Each structure stands twice: as C-alpha cells, then as structure tokens.
Amino acid sequence: MMNDLWKKELPVENIKKITPVTGGDVNDAYLIETAVEPYFLLVQPRRSEDFYAAEIAGLDAMKKAGITAPGVVGYGQIEGDAYLLLEYLEEGTGSQSDLGEMVANMHLEHQKDGQFGFHLPHEGGDFSFDNTWTDSWSELFINERMDQFKERLAEQGLWGEADLEVYDKVRRIMKDKLDEHESEPSLLHGDLWAGNYMFLSDGRPALFDPSPFYGDREFDLGATTVFGGFTDDFYDAYEKTYPLSDDAWERIRFYKLYLLMVHLMKFGSVYAPSVNRTMDEIMKT
C-alpha cells in the first residue's frame, strides 16, 4: 500500500496519484501520476534493491543495442520493499514485422568473449539462478536451469518417479542435440512472451521486464511459442534479419518445455498436461 513516505522517498516530485495496475505475477505495479509526466513503478515486497539489479542491467544492455525499452528513473528500497521506477511508455499499435526485426537485432548482439551467462544473477519471485559464465550453452541451460527445475518439481511433489524417468530421457535428447549445435551467446530478453512487449503510440515496438543473460537465441524464440501473441510476420521478419538453421525448430521445443516447467512449478498441476505433451513431442523427434 503506497503511503506518504513513498511519495516523499520516490525520486520524482509533485506526485498527484498512485494507482495499482497489472504488472505480471512477480511484482506489484503502480502508475505514478505527477504534475509533469507519468511513471511506472515496480515493487517487490520484503526484498533488497539488489532484486532489480539484473533487470536494470538488461534494460541498459538492450538500449545500448538499439532496442526500445523503458528508461530507468530510479531504484532503491522503501519501508523494506525494493522498487524500480521506470519511464512510462504510451501504448499504441504497430507491426509484428518490426518486432521480429528488432528481436533479431537484439540477438545479433553477442557476448564479446564467447561466454554464456551474465554478470548478475537472475532474481525471480520464486527462484533464482547465479548465471555463472561458462563456455558451454548446454551446461548453462541443462545443468544450471533444467536440472534445477527438475529437482524443485520433485521436491514440491509435482513430479513423481515416472515423470523423472521421462525427464531423464528428454534430457539425453536435449544434451545430444545441443552438443551437436553450434551456439553463439546472444543478448537475450530471457522471458520473451507476449506480455513483455508492446507497441508505442508512434508504432515502434518496445521490450520490457527482461530476465537478461547471454545464451542461444533459440531460447527466446521458444518463449514466443507458448502463449501466442507472435504472428507469422514476426517470424518471417526475424528470419530475414538473422536466419535460423534448418533444424532450429526441433530445439526450440526444448525452450518451450523450459517455460512450461517454470509455470508448472509456480502455478501447479494445471500445466502438467502441457509439460507432458511437450516432452512427448521431444521424444518423437
């Protein structure tokens, strides 16, 4: 609940109104209206300001790569809660082709030392990753991400022995396929679903709410396939800007599985059928 202390401590003046808005499942979110311009505020209860460090670094990296993203106005901690104050972006309509081209250009930004990972850990509401730099995409994705989710799903009672056996089979397929694939560490949004892009009032596409790291670009594309919101025009423009290999869509299923496992862990067994179906699809390739 916003109070007078928040109005005093936030790094903007003449706040007229603070209104709760939809901000996803991780943060509390607010529209800050001032005498001059609006702002967008994210709040993470009972966390230090370090919670937003990776997101801030990701927004900075995207903007340096020429990607339209909200600017950071301020961040810190008030009453024991972390906050991130962002430029407010006015929503409009735009072209999926422009969005596809922009995402491809982001992926053309490669880590200069050929390393996979990030210099800051990923902090989520329910889980975190240390993003330790590695020479191997397979190691980062399978060992440090997928295997962690497997353990968490088992600990939470969402996966039993039969599920773990299926996962082990899928894991072997993923490991073999990724070892054969020449990955390059691209700058990734890290959570590229339809809720994390928008078109501005001037028609430009913009990205926000990143979970950044350098990884195989197919990871981001896998996220686009889960909940819809990306059309053929998006993928066609992406391909023209940064063509994929012929077998890319076989591996993209791995990253669809990843995101479905995240949702199974966070929201429970309603996602179990989708996870099981995707694992079956991988085993049939």
Q: Do residues 134 and 212 both lie within one domain?
A: yes
Q: What is the pLDDT of residues 22-80, one digit of tens each?
A: 866 678 999 999 999 999 999 999 999 999 999 999 999 999 999 999 999 999 999 99
Q: Do residues 170 and 153 both lie within one domain?
A: yes
CATH code, 243: 3.90.1200.10
The whole-number pLDDT of residue 4 equals 81
CATH code, 18: 3.30.200.20
Q: What is the pLDDT of residues 169-224, one digit of tens each?
A: 999 999 999 999 999 999 999 999 999 999 999 999 999 999 999 999 999 999 99
Q: Do residues 193 and 77 both lie within one domain?
A: no
| In the predicted structure, residue 2 carries a pLDDT above the cut 70 | no
At which residue do the structure tokens 């990871």 appear? 219
| In the predicted structure, residue 18 carries a pLDDT above the cut 80 | yes
Q: Do residues 147 and 246 both lie within one domain?
A: yes
Q: Do residues 107 and 175 both lie within one domain?
A: yes
pTM for this model (two decimals): 0.95
Q: Do residues 129 and 15 both lie within one domain?
A: no
The whole-number pLDDT of residue 22 equals 80
Q: Do residues 72 and 107 both lie within one domain?
A: no
At which residue do the structure tokens 């730099």 appear? 133
Domain boundary among 87, 108, 124: 87
Across all residues in the chain, what is the average pLDDT?
A: 94
Q: Do residues 254 and 120 both lie within one domain?
A: yes
**Number of structural domains found in the chain:** 2
Q: Confidence class of residue 142 from pLDDT cuts 50, 70 and 90? A: very high
Q: Do residues 51 and 119 both lie within one domain?
A: no
| In the predicted structure, residue 1 carries a pLDDT above the cut 60 | no
Q: Confidence class of residue 125 from pLDDT cuts 50, 70 and 90? A: low
Catalytic residue set = 191
Burial 222-246 (b: 16+ CB within 10 A, else e): bbbbbeeebeeebbebbeebbebee
Q: Do residues 146 and 222 both lie within one domain?
A: yes
Cα–Cα distances in Å, from 186 out to 127, 210, 242?
A: 23, 14, 12
The whole-number pLDDT of residue 25 equals 67
The alpha-helical segments, DSSP class H, found in 122-247 are 137-138, 147-155, 161-180, 218-224, 232-241
Q: Do residues 162 and 276 both lie within one domain?
A: yes
The whole-number pLDDT of residue 128 equals 84
What is the residue range of 48's domain? 4-87
Domain boundary among 87, 117, 148: 87
| In the predicted structure, residue 141 carries a pLDDT above the cut 90 | yes
Domain boundary among 87, 119, 139: 87
Q: Do residues 116 and 182 both lie within one domain?
A: yes
